[in-house]
């Protein structure tokens, strides 16, 4: 994997994309295009969320239609302490990950007892509960959202108020999330998760308590996504419940599928394609969502495996 001589299209694209993200600040500085840096930073944060969704969706076969809730939990874990002028980033991130874990554990406990479309709908229901819960809390802005006046502070180690520092913080986070998911999927734990997706009964009959494995996986994915939410809260300096309603969960699903569910790097490519297209199309016409919709349908109908599937085929041809 780390030997470039063995690389095929898929590996080249992965390496080049990450390198391009890593070098983007140089380009945007030279071209004085600070907005593009913002765009890529947002893209990478959403990519972390997509990677975490892919862990349960692509590898574990758990179609969560409520993943945006964790983004909300993570963002409010930054926003609410900041509201009380608690700006310690380590603490905020710990709250984001911890609260996401707790939420994932209790909702997973119930959701994972269901199968198929019931699972899709119950995860959505739990996410809607979080959505309405934050709308109902007047103190933290309710439906109007919460302005995060100060970004997380990391005790002088580094300062994410600086755009470039924040950008690299995000970049490192993305690489770390990818590495973490890769490690998980290559471990025995990952094998069980992947096996339970294909044939749960068989895994059970050879003695694995798949329910526990899946629950653990579900909690890990929630924690990673909660972390992404903490980043997003810092990035936008603002969060409102609307940013975690069911359409955003749907968008995360789209990013994963567009990139290729079940592949490690696919979700990053899917998110990149999604965010750049959205930015590009919405600049051309106010009717851009129709183009987006048609594209979504075409991808589902004619491009199973998404971008990663395409790269895989490209690799085989050589």
Partner 1 sequence: MFKRLMLSAAAASLLAMPAMASGGHDKVKIGFVTTITTGAGIIGKDMVDALNLAMDDMGGKMGGLEVDLIVEDDGFKPGIGKQKTDKLIKQDDVHFITGYLWSHVLLASRKTALDSGKFLISSNAGPSQLAGKLCHKNFFSTSWQNDQTPMAMGEVLNKKGIKSIYVMAPNYAAGKNMVAGVERTFKGKIVGKDMTKWGKDAQLDFSAELAKAKASGAGAIFIFYPGKAGGAFIKQYQQAGLQGKIPLYSVFTVDSIALPKLQKGKLNGVLGSLNTQFWGPDLDTPQNKKFVSGFRKKYGRYPSFYAAQSYDMMYLIKSAVEAVKGDMHNQDGLRAAMEKANFPSVRGKFSYGNNHFPIQNFYLRKVVKDADGNWTTTIVDTVFKNHQDTYASLCKL
Partner 2 sequence: MDWGLLITQVLNGMQLGVLLFLLASGLTLVFGIMDFVNLAHGSLYMMGAFFCATLTEWTGSFVLAAFLALPLTALVGLAVEIIVVRKLYRRDHLDHVLATFGLILVFDTAVQFIWGPAGTAIPLPEWLDGRVEILPNIEFPTFRLLIIATGLVVAIALYWIVTHTRTGMLIRAGASNRTMVSALGIDIGKLFLGLFALGAVLAGLAGLMIAPITEASIGMGNEIIIVAFVVIIIGGIGSIKGAFVAALLVGLIDTMGRSFLDSFLKLFMSIQNAETSAPAISAMMIYILMAAVLAFRPQGLFPPKGR
Residues that bind partner 1 (CB under 8 A): 31-36, 38, 135, 142-145, 147, 149, 236-240, 242-243, 245, 272-273, 276-277, 279-280, 282-283, 286, 289, 298-299, 303, 307, 310-311
CA distance 75 to 92: 9
Q: If DSSP states are collapsed to H, E and C, what string results for 127-196?
A: HHHHHHHHHHCHHHCHHHCEECCCCCECCCCCCCCCHHHHHHHHHHHHHHHHHHHHHHHHCHHHHHHHHH
300, 301, 303, 304 alpha-carbon torsion, rounded to 10°: 70
Tell me the closest approach of the beta carbon of residue 139 to partner 2, in angstroms.
Answer: 8
CA distance 318 to 313: 9
Q: Give the range of 79-87, 153-161, 217-225, 250-258 binding partner 2 by CB under 8 A.
A: 250-258
Tell me the closest approach of the beta carbon of residue 148 to partner 1, in angstroms.
Answer: 9
Tell me the closest approach of the beta carbon of residue 87 to partner 1, in angstroms.
Answer: 15
Q: Which of 128, 150, 164, 216 binds partner 2 (CB under 8 A)?
A: 128
Tell me the closest approach of the beta carbon of residue 130 to partner 2, in angstroms.
Answer: 9
Tell me the closest approach of the beta carbon of residue 131 to partner 2, in angstroms.
Answer: 9
Q: Which is nearer to partner 2, 116 or 155 (CB)?
A: 116
Q: Which of 118, 212, 280, 313 binds partner 2 (CB under 8 A)?
A: 118
Question: By C-alpha distance, which of 269, 252, 278, 279 is closest to 310?
Answer: 269
CA distance 244 to 263: 25
Residues 6 or more apart in contact with residue 318 via CB below 8 angstroms: 8, 9
Q: Give the range of 131-139, 202-210, 232-240, 276-284 binding partner 2 by CB under 8 A.
A: 131-139
The verdict on 296 binding partner 2 (CB under 8 A) reads yes
Among positions 251-280, residues that touch partner 2 (CB under 8 A) are: 253-254, 257, 261
Two tokens, residue 254 = 């789209």
The three-class DSSP label of residue 262 is coil
For 7, 18, 114, 148, the CA distances from 111, given in Å and listed in that order, are 39, 35, 6, 32
The verdict on 23 binding partner 2 (CB under 8 A) reads no
Please choose which of partner 2, partner 1, none residue 65 contacts, taking the beta carbon within 5 to 8 angstroms, the exact cut-off set by kind.
partner 2
Tell me the closest approach of the beta carbon of residue 303 to partner 1, in angstroms.
Answer: 6
Q: Which of 86, 91, 125, 180 binds partner 2 (CB under 8 A)?
A: 125
Tell me the closest approach of the beta carbon of residue 258 to partner 1, in angstroms.
Answer: 9
Please choose which of partner 2, partner 1, none residue 279 contacts, taking the beta carbon within 5 to 8 angstroms, the exact cut-off set by kind.
partner 1
Q: Give the range of 11-19, 33-41, 47-55, 128-136 binding partner 2 by CB under 8 A.
A: 128-136
Two tokens, residue 52 = 């975490």
Tell me the closest approach of the beta carbon of residue 145 to partner 1, in angstroms.
Answer: 5
Q: Are 59 and 256 in contact (CB under 8 A)?
A: no
CA distance 255 to 252: 5
CA distance 90 to 154: 7
Would you tell me which residues interact with partner 2 (CB under 8 A)? 57, 63, 65, 110, 113-114, 116-118, 120-122, 124-126, 128-129, 132-133, 135-138, 142, 246-247, 250, 253-254, 257, 261, 286-290, 292-297, 299-301
């Amino acid at each position: 994997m780390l030997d470039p001589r063995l690389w095929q299209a898929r590996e080249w694209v992965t390496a080049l994309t990450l390198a391009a993200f890593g070098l983007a600040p140089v380009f945007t500085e030279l071209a004085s295009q600070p907005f593009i840096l913002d765009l890529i930073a947002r893209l990478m944060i959403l990519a972390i969320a997509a990677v975490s969704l892919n862990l349960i969706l692509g590898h574990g076969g758990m179609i969560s239609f409520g993943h945006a809730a964790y983004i909300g939990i993570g963002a409010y874990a930054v926003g609410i302490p900041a509201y009380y002028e608690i700006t310690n980033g380590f603490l905020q991130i710990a709250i984001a990950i911890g609260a996401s874990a707790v939420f994932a554990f209790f909702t997973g406990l119930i959701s994972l007892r269901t199968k198929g479309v019931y699972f899709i709908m119950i995860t959505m229901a739990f996410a809607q509960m979080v959505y309405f819960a934050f709308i109902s809390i007047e103190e933290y802005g309710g439906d109007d959202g919460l302005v995060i006046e100060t970004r997380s502070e990391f005790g002088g180690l580094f300062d994410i108020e600086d755009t470039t520092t924040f950008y690299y913080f995000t970049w490192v986070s993305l690489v770390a999330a990818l590495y973490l998911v890769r490690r998980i999927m290559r471990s025995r734990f990952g094998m069980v998760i992947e096996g339970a997706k294909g044939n749960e009964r068989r895994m059970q009959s050879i003695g694995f308590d798949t329910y526990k494995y899946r629950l653990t996986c579900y909690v890990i994915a929630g924690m990673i996504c909660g972390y992404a939410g903490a980043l997003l809260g810092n990035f936008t300096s603002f969060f409102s419940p609307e940013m975690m309603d069911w359409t955003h969960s749907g968008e995360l699903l789209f990013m994963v599928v567009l990139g290729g569910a079940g592949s490690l790097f696919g979700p990053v490519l899917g998110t990149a394609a999604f965010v750049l297209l959205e930015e590009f199309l919405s600049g051309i016409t106010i009717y851009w969502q129709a183009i987006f919709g048609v594209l979504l349908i075409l991808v589902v109908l004619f491009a199973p495996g998404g971008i990663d599937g395409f790269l895989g085929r490209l690799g085989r041809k050589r």
